[in-house]
Structure 1
Amino acid sequence: TIETAAYSLYRRRNDELEKKIDAVIDMYGRLQQPDGYLSSWYQRIRPGLRWTNLRDCHELYCAGHLIEGAVAYYQATGKRKLLDIMCRYADHIAETFGP
């Protein structure tokens, strides 16, 4: 949703849409764990089981989509907040799985 909104904002400014996406980004910022991890499913529904089923549970897939959304939103608005959140998540992924 964030990526799609970003493409829309890139084409035409929409203050109301941007405000809604900023609110969602703020929620992601509050949800992110101190080590950078960010997956609402595992944090709220399956705590303690993160990174335990990469094949079926799509943690890396979802992270990739959030990263794409963060890049698109930065390109559309110049706002770094989600990009910075996702950089922390990417650092966490690299620390967890190695280079």
Structure 2
Amino acid sequence: MERNDIVAWRSRYLRKLRENATLGKNKKPITYLDETFIHPSYGVSKCWQSKYQPGVYKADRSGQRYIIVHAGGAYGFLNNGLLIFKSKNKSGDYHDDLNHHNFMQ
């Protein structure tokens, strides 16, 4: 079961999306935001390629992690919406680096 406050937030969000869809020419574009990370030691254990095709590798070193944030929607990515910065966090969770200061950039 989901918490009641989460259900209420989702309900408000869906109601606003529905209201926006009925505005015709005054409809506001919907923008989505997401973040990810990459670092030199990133590797995967499986892929869709055969074992004879290059593409998947296992890195032999660790290194600086970079956080990547971007926003976009039906009209593409937002101008000046890309943010890339070095992680300062040594823990396994890069989300600690995405604080209010970095998000507002």
Q: Please indicate the TM-score interval, normalised by the length of the shorter structure.
A: under 0.3
Q: Bigger radius of gyration, 1 or 2?
A: 2
TM-score (norm 1): 0.24
Greater fraction of residues in strand: 2
Greater fraction of residues in helix: 1
Select the structure with the greater relative contact order (CA < 8 A; seq sep ≥ 6): 1
TM-score (norm 2): 0.23
